[in-house]
Amino acid sequence: MKFSKWQGCGNDFVIVDFLDHEPVDFAVLAREMCDRHFGVGADGLMAACPSETADVRMREFNPDGTEPEMCGNGIRCFSRWLYEEGYVTKEEFTVETLAGTMVPRVIVQDGTVSAVAVDMGVPVLEGERIPVAGFGTERVVAQPITVAGKEYAMTCVSMGNPHCVIFVDDAEGFPLEQLGAQFEHHAAFPNRINTEFVEVRDRRHARMRVWERGAGITLACGTGTCATLTAGVLNDVLDREAAIEVDGGVIHVAWREDGHIVMTGPAERVFTGDWPGVR
């Protein structure tokens, strides 16, 4: 089976084509291919599948085999792959995901894709829809949460997948390795959660580190940057457009007046190859 490995700000993915093939057990395939010692190595597996409602369907799987609703860096990589492989010929097209239909746009300069912008839709803010236990239809903005005996202020957002944003004084020094999993599995989050630890540098620039649900520490999280901007606006510490610096680079995010979040960032091919055992 042919595959292609891509990365967006260091968040890396294996992409496979199942547009004309029968689906396989993607959870098993993801665990095998994403393994960094015995497989290709990646933060996720993405499969291109037929769609009845969009130009193509994207299914994504974490290294542990779970299927998240959405991945921002992943959809940028997936979109450029679709465009460069000729599966789509338009610069703007639609992709079906578990989080709904996304609208990517490849940005072409001098005949080369320089970046990918994605309309990520409207952020979900009601606690019960993220979900966060005990909040009903209320927003979860600067609410207390206790982890490892310390109280933090959390702001929670869904970008199709759940996020908890914690503003900190020093993102680089935050003990992500020790506390990330405790946030992910906290009782407040029935479906577990992605957690962003964010240091605001100024109103148009923030430093973000992330613990991703099902993947652990990653170099970037596209939906996490969208959640970070949303949380920053709700807490009046960020403007509606800002550069979010992650471990692997910078992603630009804008919260438009129509309520939609647009994320713009890089997507680069790393290599292609053949995976044995799947035809």
Catalytic residues: 71, 221
* Total Cβ atoms within 10 A of residue 190: 12
CB 76 within 8 A of CB 8: yes
Q: Where are the alpha helices (DSSP H) in 124-261?
A: 176-184, 222-234
CA distances from 81 to 46, 48, 111, 278 (A): 11, 10, 15, 20
Phi, psi of 107, rounded to the nearest 5 degrees = -100, 110
Residue with tokens 């109103």: 203
* Total Cβ atoms within 10 A of residue 98: 14
Q: What are the strands, taking DSSP E only, across 20-160? A: 44-49, 56-61, 95-97, 100-109, 112-119, 143-147, 150-158
